Structure formats: C-alpha cells, structure tokens
Amino acid sequence: MTLKREPAAFGDLRGWIAALKSAGEIREITAEVDWNIELGTIMRLAQGAGDGPALLFSNIKDYNRRDSRCRKLFGCGLSSYSRVSMMMGMPANTHPRELVKLGRTVLNERLPPKIVPTGPVKQNIITGTDIDIEQFPVPFWNRVDGGRYILTYAGIVTRDPVTGIPNVGIYRGMVAGPDVIPILMWRAQHIGQHVTAWQQQGAKEMPIACVIGWEEALGFCAGQPVPKGISEYDVMGAIRGQPVELVKCETSDLMVPATAEIVIEGMLGLEPSSYVMEGPFAEFTGYVAGDRAPKPAIRVTCITHRDDPIMRGCIEGSLPGSYSENAICSSIMRSATAWNVLDRAGVPGITGVWCPPVQAGINVVVQMQQSYRGQAKQAANALWGSSAGHVRYKHVTVVDDDIDIHDYAAVDWAIAHRVNAGENDIVIMPATFGMGLDPSTRRRDRNAILFGTGKWNRVLIDATMNLDYDPDPDLGGARFPPTVWPVDADRNAVLKRWSELGLSPPKRS
C-alpha cells in the first residue's frame, strides 16, 4: 500500500525556517557565539538523539557587523524524524517505519526541474580578486579538524561529460585559502565516476558548483544513494511536488537552484599535482577520519549569493545520545534503499528493514518471513553486491518477522537465542570494497588515492530460526520451541482487568 502524503514546497531555506518556526521546531540563538569551536560544540550538544531543535545562529563573532557579507548560520534542519516527516509532506508524528516505506518510492519518483533566467541567488556576484570564502561565517567545527569546513551539508553539483546528466552529492570541503577548497571524494561515488569520465576526455579540471542553503530536499537527496543516471533535481521535485527552479552558473554550464542562499562555482583539479592538503575531520562515524593528505581541490571561480545570505552547515558524526542530520536521514533512506535492493534481487518475504541512526546505516537489520533455508544469506549477498553497499551495510542481521526491528532489545534477544555460530549463522565476507572512513580498517586500507575505496570484512548474523534443523515431533513439527509469552486468551483475560489492578499500561500487549 502506498502511503498518502501531501508534498510541500517551501520555496527556499527561508520558507523552511518559517515553517519550522510555526511548528515550534527551531531555536534562534541570539547570544554571541564564536565560530571557532563554540558554535560546533553547541550544535553537537543540542542535536540530541533525534529530539533536538533546528538551530539558527544570528549573532556570530566577527560576522555580526552591519556590513558583514553573511551574518547567520542554520543547522540541524533534519536532525529529527518530525522534521524529516515535515519535509516529506507527512504528519510530524509519523513513525520511522512508515518513513522507510515511503522512502522506498520517493527515490523512484520524478518531477523534472524548470529552467529560469535568474533568481535571488544572483543578487550578488563575486569574481576575481574579490573572492574570499572566509567572508562567510565558516565554523571551525571541532578542535580535531584540520581546518574550517565550508562544505558540510552543501549540494555539490557535477555533470557527466558524456550523458550530460548532473549529480548532486554531499562531500566535505575545507577552507585552504580565499579561493581554494580541497574535498574528500571516492572513485566509486558518482562524483568519482564523473572525474574518471572527464579524465578520459583529457580534461585537467572539471566544472563543479557548491549549493549552500536551499530547501531541505537538497541535502536530503544529495546525501542518499539516488541511482546513477538519475538527476537528484528530478527527485527533489517529486518530494516537494513542484519543479526545482534552476539557473545557470556564471562560469560554467552547471545548473543550480535559483533561490539558493549561496553558490560557490569552481573547477575541480583532476591531476595529483594540483591536489591540496585536507583533513582530518570529525566524520559521520563519530571518529576523526580522513587523514591529512593531498586531495582534489576546487579552484573557486565565482560566488553568487542572496542579500543577507544564510550559511548552511551541520555538525557531522553520530555518537550515543547525539545523532547528526546525516544519521537521521540515512536511517530512513539507507533502510529504504536496502529494501529496494532486496526486492530487485528477488529475495522474497522481506517485511521490514531498519538502519538504526546511531551508526547511520553501517549496520542493517532485515526482517523476513522465511520460506527456505539460506534465505538470510541470499539477503546479505544481495546487499553486499549492490552499489549502495559501497559505504553501508557492513554488518547485516536478519531476523524473523516476530522480531520488532525497531526494538534493540528484541533484536538482541533474537541474536542471543537464535544464533549458533557452529551452524553457519555467522558468515564473514572478507576483503570487499567499503567505506574508507572506518576507524576499524587499517590506515593503509583507508587510502582513497591509492585504492579508490576502503576495505571491509563484512559479517552476516543470521538470527532467524534455523530451517536446517529437523522438525521436532514433540513440538508439533516446529524447529524451535514456543516462547513463554502468554497465549491470546490468557493475555486478553488479564488485560480486561488491567485498570482494576491499578497497573501502568504494559509496554507490550
């Protein structure tokens, strides 16, 4: 059944902020906050475990004068499921399991963009020696970072030189000078495939544009595994129910949202001789990652921005009790993508998929109705062999459909009592491609320049009832004994007296 939603187009970042104010989902910080460490620390502590507010900083040290080019910074826009629901056109109290079901179809919907001659993002055009990215309140987010990071939640636009189809992704980018931004990218990503295609044509640089601040559909889609050959702009249009209005960049043919706050145009150097030192950075794993090393760098050719623009950024890295925007969004869309991968691979009986937000989809739990032995292994192999598995699905746990995959305790119980390592319930898939930011991977194997990707040894935990066991005649032909949960008649009889007994409602009934 397709879930009904009411697509909402907020117009721009300012429209989204207004909607959050109406819903009581945002806090404006008017006290002076230092861009150096303090702002990032506030954001990390405030985001909570998916229950913190969006934040608008309007009094940033060194950027709070009347003549400051940019005086505000917005973050934590999608660090809660209520705000993800709002962006998707769903009620704010929609359960994540319903958002996952919706996410399965959202990336398949299309509404092509509309080209317009100009827009508010062209109100100010900066070129030549006037370019200085430090005129924007770029935070030094974490004391462990290698520098100030201007690209944390920007939509990075590149284009395939053969097909002309654009890609919008999210990649970290550090300030290395007034007009230099080295970025971290992997060859297996779509931007890396574009780099390869430009290199094959003999190019030494590739056009690139960085969109900072627009509707939340921009960062949401840019951070998700939209299939190759499909423009994220088409998906954004479908999510918001209106075409994305695009304008052409000043110094390239790339197209960007007309109502964006800031667009940084440039050329990405493709030759190692042009690389610039970048890193490390407090990454989405919750650890410092991406060693300081030479990386491809953007040579900024132009900056366009609205009057009194709003900087957009996020504090990356999920830890217990502090979930980033990336983690919340990934828990929905990496789950939805995995479910679609399983469907396309022909794995039957899938009834749910969940990537808990604390680890942003590195681990995935699959719920299924088994109909034959080896079904869990089929599911794991399908996920590991997919392009979406490049940076996710390292550890796959498969459970039966009586286990609530949104309940850590239920999954843990299944692992405790349905896993027997000696019965092939633990499977290791060695030396696969993987995320190069994983601190559990050897430093040498995290070298993106040398290998193009990281290296993972993946694990399947098959916590389903083992259909390889013989049916037990003493159990009526079942392979596992019954649980001790009361039968329906006994449970219902007691529940009828519950208020009489003066007990709090049971968590499970």
Q: Same domain, yes or no, for 360 and 308? A: no
DSSP letter, residue 12: S
CATH code at position 355:
3.40.1670.10
Q: Which one is predicted more confidently, 392 or 2? A: 392
Q: Does the model's pTM come out above 0.85? A: yes
**Distance from C-alpha of 318 to C-alpha of 287, rounded to nearest angstrom:** 9
Tokens of 84: 């993800």
Q: What is the pLDDT of residues 392-447, one digit of tens each?
A: 999 999 999 999 999 999 999 999 999 999 999 999 999 998 888 888 888 888 77
Determine the average pLDDT of the residues in 330-348.
95
The reply to whether 1 falls in a domain is no
Confidence check: pLDDT of 1 > 70: no
The reply to whether 489 falls in a domain is no
The reply to whether 503 falls in a domain is no
User: Could you tell me which residues come within 8 angstroms of residue 450 by beta carbon, excluding any fewer than 6 positions away?
Assistant: 444
Q: Which amino acid is at 481?
A: P
**Distance from C-alpha of 133 to C-alpha of 121, rounded to nearest angstrom:** 16
Domains in the chain, number: 2
Q: Same domain, yes or no, for 281 and 377? A: no
Q: Same domain, yes or no, for 353 and 300? A: no
Determine the average pLDDT of the residues in 368-385.
96
Q: Same domain, yes or no, for 308 and 348? A: no
Band (pLDDT 50/70/90 cuts) for residue 448 is: low
The reply to whether 468 falls in a domain is no
Q: 329 lies in which domain range?
A: 325-462
For the chain, the distance separating the N- and C-terminal CA atoms, rounded to the nearest angstrom, is 26
Average pLDDT, the chain: 93
**Among candidate residues 282, 152, 154, the one with its CA nearest the CA of residue 216:** 154
Q: What is the pLDDT of residues 10-66, one digit of tens each?
A: 999 999 999 999 999 999 999 999 999 999 999 999 999 999 999 999 999 999 999
Confidence check: pLDDT of 207 > 60: yes
Residues in the chain: 509
Band (pLDDT 50/70/90 cuts) for residue 334 is: very high
DSSP letter, residue 486: P
**Distance from C-alpha of 207 to C-alpha of 254, rounded to nearest angstrom:** 7
Concatenating the DSSP letter of every residue in 281-348 gives EE-TTSSEES-SEEE-EEEEEEEEE-SS-EEE------BTTB--HHHHHHHHHHHHHHHHHHHHTT--
CATH code at position 108:
2.30.110.10
Contact 394, 362 (CB under 8 A): yes
Please give the pLDDT value at position 478. 87
Q: Same domain, yes or no, for 262 and 356? A: no
Q: Same domain, yes or no, for 306 and 371? A: no
Q: Same domain, yes or no, for 306 and 337? A: no
Give the distance from CA 111 to its chain's centroid. 22
The reply to whether 249 falls in a domain is yes
**Distance from C-alpha of 237 to C-alpha of 351, rounded to nearest angstrom:** 29
User: Could you tell me which residues come within 8 angstroms of residue 258 by beta carbon, excluding any fewer than 6 positions away?
Assistant: 116, 118, 119, 120, 121, 122, 245, 246, 247
Q: Same domain, yes or no, for 291 and 407? A: no
Tokens of 466: 């083992």
Contact 457, 503 (CB under 8 A): no
Band (pLDDT 50/70/90 cuts) for residue 3 is: low
Q: Same domain, yes or no, for 222 and 347? A: no
Q: Same domain, yes or no, for 382 and 266? A: no
Please give the pLDDT value at position 360. 86
The reply to whether 488 falls in a domain is no
The reply to whether 273 falls in a domain is yes
Contact 380, 460 (CB under 8 A): yes
Q: Which amino acid is at 381?
A: N
Please give the pLDDT value at position 2. 54
Determine the average pLDDT of the residues in 281-286.
91
User: Could you tell me which residues come within 8 angstroms of residue 392 by beta carbon, excluding any fewer than 6 positions away?
Assistant: 330, 334, 338, 355, 360, 361, 362, 364, 435
Q: Same domain, yes or no, for 279 and 392? A: no
Q: Same domain, yes or no, for 221 and 332? A: no
